[in-house]
Structure formats: C-alpha cells, structure tokens
A and B are shown apart, each in its own frame.
Chain A
Amino acid sequence: MRGLAAIGLFVALLGAGAAHAVTPDEMLKEPALEARARALSSELRCMVCQNQSIDDSEAPLAKDLRLLVRERLTQGDSDRQVMNFLVARYGNFVLLKPPFEWQTLLLWGLPPVALIAGLIGLIVVARRRPTLAVEPQALDGEEQRKLAALSKAGD
C-alpha cells in the first residue's frame, strides 16, 4: 500500500484495477427500484475500501452489500428502512454522510458556526471602525483657509 499511497494521487487510494462495481446480473428488472438501489448505494461505504461507496467499489463485500440493498428493496423496504437495517448491522461507519449526533456535533456544526461568527465579526468590525460609511465632513475654518491658500498658490 505504501507505494500506492506514496504519490498522493487520486488514483492511488482508490484501490488497484477498480473497474466494475455494479454488474449486469445484479441489476433489478424494475428501473425505478434499481434507481433507488443505485442512489442508496452511493451513500453507503464499502467498509473494506478507502472512502469508496459500494456503488463504486468492486470489492466482494461491496457486491454483497449491493445485493443486500436490492434484496431489501424488492421485499418492499423503504429507503429509510434499508439504511436503518444497515446501520443496525454495521454501525454508522457504513454511512458516507454521518448522522447528526453529539459525536458529530463539531463536524456538522463547525462550518456554519464559523461562517456565522465570521459574518457577525465583520459586522462588528465594520460598526466599530470609523469607516467611510460616515459621510465626508465639511472642512472647518482652518482647513478652508489652507485650501484657499493652496489653490491660490496653484494659480
């Protein structure tokens, strides 16, 4: 694996010779059901691969899971039921989009909090700093005199 990981390529970590994930014989006859299966598959992780969905992976485990998803769907499970079934079996690790719970609080929370905090920070800074938002003030007497002197010098 070292040689693979070495170069830092997209290719490298995705496993050698990856080619065919879904094979023709796995596919369900009914297009609507198959489409649901594909959509679900792309949200599920192939647990023995690196960051690959079971839809993309050709590992035997991924194939088993794809068949399992299709089996549950043909038995009339809803998408949610299929997901719940798999999570009950394999834990949250199987989900490529982790659920929102206390352990993933920072994961989901940090980006929006950072954005909002950044926006608030900018508003505060903009309010506090004497910016050009303030209309230009009229020149006072001293400045008027200087200006007059300057323009006279320029003539």
Chain B
Amino acid sequence: MIPELGHYALVLALALGLIQSVIPVIGARGHDSALMRLGSSTALMQFFFVGLSFLALTISYVTSDFSVASAFENSHSMMPLIYKITSVWGNHEGSMLLWVLILSLFGALVAAFGGNLPATLKANVLAVQSWIASAFYLFILLTSNPFRRLAQAPAEGRDLNPILQDIGLAIHPPLLYLGYVGFSIAFSFAIAALIEGRIDAAWARWVRPWTLAAWTFLTVGIAMGSYWAYYTLGWGGFWFWDPVENASLMPWLAGTALLHSAVVMEKRNALKVWTILLAILAFSLSLIGTFLVRSGVLTSVHAFASDPTRGVFILIILVGFIGGGLALFAWRASTLKQGGLFAPVSREGALVFNNLFLTTACLTVFVGTLYPLALESLAGEKISVGAPFFNLTFGPLFLVLMALMPFGPLLAWKRGNILGVAQRLMAAYAVGIVALAVAFAVESTQSVLAPFGVGLAFYVMAGAVVDLVERTGLFRMPLGIVARRAAGLPRSTWGTAVAHFGIAVTLLGIIGAGTWGVERIVALKPSQTVSLADYDLTFDGMMSRSGPNYSEQAAKFTVKTGGETIGIMQPSKRNFIARDTSTNEAALMTRGAGQLYLSLGDTNPDGSIAVRLYYKPLVMLIWLGAIIMMVGGGLSLSDRRLRVGAPKPAKKPAIKPTLQPAE
C-alpha cells in the first residue's frame, strides 16, 4: 500500500508540474494575477507530493519491504538504520527521486520566498522550473520507477553495495545534488528573463543568492566526496579526474564563473548577455553530468547502446533544455540592452578575466571528459584521457587564475589602477616569497615546483588579508575606527576574502600531500616495526571482529613518535555476508594538518600481511579549504543586500536576521 501511495504521489506531482508548466506563462502573458499566483501554490504542492513520494520509498527501505524491487536490490534487513535510509538514494531509481525532491524543493523556495519578485518574472521562473521537473518526473515514472513491485517478495534483500555502506553516502549525494540541482534556479531565471526580454541589475540581485547557495553546497559536496574517496579507496588519492568527478567539477567551474559575472551585472549593470549564457551553461553542465552518470555511457559506449532507454530519455531532456535554452538565448539575447561601460583595467575587467579562465578551465575538463567517448563512437578509436592530461592542461590555467586573484577585489570599479594595486599587494608578495624560501630550505629535494606553489598559496592568502586590511584601515587608523569599519563592511566583502583565502588553503593541501607525502609498502609480521616520517608503527597482530552485517579482520598498530605512544590504528578488511564482497577500511590518524594513513593488503603464505603506510602532510587542508570556501559563501549569502529585494528596500530584514535567499 505505501509504495503505491508513493507512486501515486509522484503521478500527482507530475500532473501539478504540467499545470504549472503552462498556466503561469499564460497568466504572465495576459497579466492575469490569479493565473500567475497559481504557480506558487502548485510549486508548494509539488514539493509536498514529491516529499510524500520520497517518504514512502524511505519507509519501504526502512521496513525492509523487499517486494519493492529497488529495495530488494539495494537493501538488507540487517543493515544499520542509517544505511537503510541512505540506501534509498544509493541506487539509480532512488537517487533520481532525490534529484527531483531537491528540484521541487528549490521550486517551493522560490514560491515561498520570492514574494517581492515582479509577478510576471516569478510566474515565468516557476513555469520553467516546472518544465524541468515534469521532464524528470516523466523520466522516473517511465524508465526508472523506484516503486516497482516484485510478484513474489523475496525474504531477504541483496544488500547495499558495501562500498556505499558509509556515512559518506549520507552526506555527499544530498549536498552534491543541492548544488547541481540548485543551478536550475539560475537557469529558470535566465530563461524567464529571455522570455520577458527584460533584464536588469535587480534580476542579478535575485539570482545571485540562489547561485551562491548552490555553489556553496556544490563546493562542500565535491569536497566531501573527495574525502570519502580518499579514505575509502585505500591509496590515499583525493582526486582522480574520473568522468564522474569531472561531471561535478564542470558545473562548479561554470557556477563559479556565474557567481562572479553576476556581481558585475548587479553592481554595474554590465555583462548581462554573458551572465545569462553562464546561467544556462551551469545548469546544462549539471544535466550533462546527470546524463554521463545515469545513462551508463561512461561504462562503455557499447553498454549504452545495448540498453539505451534511460540514456536516450535523458539525452532527449538534455537536448531539449540545453538546445532550447541556447536557441532562445541566440534569438532573444540581442534584445537585452548593453549596460555600464568600463575600462579594461577595472574590477569589471578583472572579473571578465576570471570568467575567461574559469570557462576555459571548464572547457578543458569538458573536452577531456567527452573526447574519448566522441572519438570512440565516431572513429572507433579508443584513447584514454586521465590525470596526467588534466594536470598538464587544467593545472596551469588554475595557477594563473590564482596568481591574478588577489588583484580583483582591490581594483576599483569602472577604471582601476593596476600599479596602485600592485603596490598595495607588496605585503602579500613578501609573504609569498618568504613562504617560498622557507619551503625551499625545508624540503627542496622532492620537487622544484612545489615551493613555488607554496609561495603562491601564501601570497593568495595574504592577498585576501590585504584586501580586508585595506578596507578596514587596519594599521593606518585608530582601532576604534577600524572596528567600526570592519563591522560596516558588507558581508559579501568578507565572503569574498574568506572564500579566496579558502581556495589557497586547498592549494596548499594539494601541494603538501602530493609532494611531501611519504609512502611505504611492506609485508609485515606481528611485532615488526616500520618507521614512516617521524613515526614508528608496530604491528601488534590481527584480530577478528564482527559488525551488524559483516565480519572483519583488523590489524592493530601501535603508533609512536619520539619513543612516546600516541595512539592505536586499526585498518581492517571487511567481508559483507549478503554479497560476499569485501571492502578495505583504511585507518586514519590526524596529526595537525597531516594524516597517517594505513591500509591492508593480502596476507602472504608466510603469515605476513602487506600494508600500505602513508604520511600525508597538510592533506587535511584540502578539505579545510573547501569548508572555508563554504563559510565564505555563507557570509556572502547573509549579506543584507541579498536579502533585500530590489523593489522593497530595507525595513523587514533588519529585524529578521535569518537566512532568506532572494526573499
């Protein structure tokens, strides 16, 4: 009964979606406020029904109702409750349901908090949002129904893939989807603006918080996925340039570019056409990512060809929205009027430069990801594009971008003085050079380039601090005035500085872990000791343990440094009963910003066990940097300016300190 209710709720959501796709547009055309208002109610109801549907599926999983096919294939009655819940989206059908849940959530948020949007814009935005939602409801109902029943309910489920039985599954996909799907709002706003043929600075002000929120979620989502891969895969890598990763990186790059160009549009009413294009592209890349991951095209072009139902359906959605969006853009973009003028050397110019580099970086990832697929299907030729390609092409682009980053916020709008900015950054160069010298002196043996990277990272961090120092007048004025200026500084300025600081922290982590990591691969017998960097690890022996749905062989290591015991590490190998598959659980010990990382290999006939030991200095900075970027995004979001809708200034927000994007 419950699965049928869930199924029915989804059908109702589709019906509502179809209504919302048409009526508000008609209302907007004829300026009929009743028809336009309908969109808000249907958006809220859509979210309610999709939520209900999702809840029904979750109940089926939690109660181990294996008559539901997807629960049978992906769940097990002995799994801990948390994994019963997360396994709802640990499979194709359920994850698509999560996708539309988040899509309808964003639609509902626009309906609820878009009170001061112009009525026609709001109606059109909700309609476009509903086009996307309806297409995906149809996709789920026709090709990927999560509520499909089995005629004979099996007694036990097949269990969730053991690799996914991890807290990472609870965190990573929802955050990633909040980011990816969040860009749909920017897309809907862009399409609505093109339909209306009207766009102004107020438009950018409404779009920016949504983009910012999506970007913030995507940033942490990607970072959490990276950390998950790092500790799960057993060789301590944190980014593999895998197509699935690239699928999430592309919207991030386009979204980052959008975030910056929207600033120009909001402040200076320039770059309108470009901003609209980026809004379309960011979500298009999210759709392409969904296609890549869902269609099976990545496994092989042939796997896609052998069962193309889903792939072709998504491809149609893809072509419809991306093609339609771009065609509308080509047709209507010329109606948008050019805005404010600016000199090449100016804040606007810097942001244009930022956009050029980010979009080129995005293009590089795009080409690298899709080229092998295209070449194979067109020429039948197989090539591989992996990490070495991306490091060589993407790396330099991003480094140049970062080297120029501190200049941007310091340049004045309209016309900037590059020499003046260069002088104001003197302190940042000094910090960078000192860091470079120190890095050279301490560790120059591994790589000549790494110290320059360290120098760059510190220079960017210092640059972010310089920005704040300049604005608050620190060191130049009495502290009282500095404090008042700091408090009076817009939150988005703090956000910029913090986020820029964060990406430099991430860079530092990547360099540290990549260059100065120590790795040892040894076969150990009990009571043998290995030394790794400054640590001595003694293998005390193996022990057997059992968990709720697995049994495991754990190795116990005593970790000492300078003769003092600092802890115990227990990497293990788990065998999952239901699928008879095993996973490798690495043991981690955080020491400052670095980590000790142990993972087990095979047992040899002589009783020794193969162990991989790593010491990864600074590795935690990679994810800490992403968290800092998230804080920066949050600070910008809390900017009063973004909470205040353009037509209705002031009043309310001062009393309501809570976060309300695009109220």
Binding site for B on A (CB under 8 A): 1-14, 16-25, 27, 42-43, 45, 50-53, 56, 91-98, 103-104, 106-108, 110-111, 114-115, 118-119, 122, 126, 129-133
**Closest B residue by C-beta to A24:** B523
Write the nearest CB–CB distance from A50 to chain B, whole angstroms: 7
| Cα–Cα, bound, A98→B386 (Å) | 9
User: What is the CA–CA distance of A110 and B370 in the complex, to the nearest angstrom?
Assistant: 13
CB distance from A128 to the nearest CB of B (A): 12
Kindly list 16 other residue pairs between chains A and B, CB separation below 8 angstroms, not including A4-B163, A10-B226, A18-B584: A8-B248, A9-B168, A10-B244, A11-B168, A12-B244, A13-B243, A18-B234, A19-B233, A20-B600, A21-B235, A51-B240, A103-B381, A107-B389, A110-B363, A115-B360, A132-B343
A19 engages B600 (CB within 8 Å): yes
- Fill in one digit per residue for B449-460: 1 if any A CB lies within 8 Å of its CB, else 0: 000000000000
- With A9-B173, A17-B163, A51-B243 known as contacts, the answer to whether A23 contacts B382 (CB < 8 A) is no
B354-385 CB mask vs A (1 if < 8 Å, else 0) is: 00110110011001100100010001011111
Contact B299 A1 (CB under 8 A): yes
A53 to B353, CA, bound (A): 35
Q: Which residues of B contact A51 (CB under 8 A)?
A: 240-243, 384, 386
Using known A-B contacts A92-B383, A107-B385, determine if residue A10 contacts B343 with beta carbons closer than 8 Å. Answer: no
| CB < 8 Å neighbour of B344 from A3, A24, A96, A126 | A126
- Closest B residue to A99 by beta carbon equals B383
Which of B91, B341, B356, B368 touches A7 (beta carbons < 8 Å)?
B91
B164 pairs with A9, CB closer than 8 A: yes
- In the complex, B582 has a CB within 8 A of chain A: yes
Give the distance in Å from the alpha carbon of A80 to the alpha carbon of B521 in the complex.
26
Query: With A104-B383, A131-B341 given, is the CB distance from A17 to B92 under 8 Å?
Result: no
B385 touches A7 (CB 8 A): no
- B90 within 8 Å of A by Cβ? yes
Roughly how many angstroms separate A122 CA and B172 CA in the complex, as a whole number?
Answer: 38
B233–A14 touching, CB < 8 Å: yes
Given A6-B91, A8-B293, also A16-B581 (CB < 8 A):
yes
Indicate if the CB atoms of A106 and B371 lie closer than 8 Å: yes
- By Cβ-Cβ distance, the 9 closest A-B pairs, closest first, are A96-B386, A20-B601, A97-B388, A10-B229, A19-B584, A6-B92, A8-B293, A19-B234, A111-B364
- Closest residue of B by beta carbon distance from A93: B382
Residues of chain B contacted by A110 (CB below 8 angstroms): 363-364, 367
**Are B581 and A119 touching (Cβ within 8 A)?**
no
Judging by beta carbons under 8 Å apart, are A91 and B342 in contact? no
CB-based contact B92/A2 at 8 Å: yes
Query: Among residues 29 to 53 in chain B, which have CB atoms less than 8 Å away from a CB atom of chain A?
Result: none
Q: Measured between alpha carbons, how far is A3 from B72 in the docked complex, in Å?
A: 12
**Among A1, A103, A106, A115, which residue has the most Cβ atoms of chain B within 10 A?**
A115
One digit per residue, 1 when the CB lies within 8 angstroms of any chain A CB and 0 when it does not, for chain B 160-188 equals 01111000110011001000000000000
Q: How many Å lie between the Cα of A53 and that of B289 in the bound state?
A: 23
* Least CB separation from B160: chain A residue: A3
Tell me whether B384 and A93 are in contact (CB under 8 A).
Answer: yes
Q: Are B584 and A11 in contact (CB under 8 A)?
A: no
Given the known A-B contacts A17-B581, A17-B584, are A115 and B356 also in contact in the complex, defined by CB atoms under 8 Å? Answer: yes
List 21 A–B pairs whose Cβ atoms lie within 8 Å, in order of A's numbering.
A3-B73, A6-B91, A7-B169, A9-B229, A10-B225, A11-B163, A13-B243, A17-B582, A18-B235, A20-B602, A22-B521, A23-B602, A25-B604, A42-B388, A52-B240, A96-B389, A103-B375, A103-B383, A104-B371, A115-B360, A132-B346
Give the residues in chain B near A20, CB-CB below 8 Å. Answer: 234-235, 521, 599-602, 610, 612
Q: Is B74 an interface residue (CB 8 A)?
A: yes
Distance in Å: Cβ of B202 to nearest Cβ of chain A: 24
Distance of B412 from chain A, by nearest CB (Å):
11
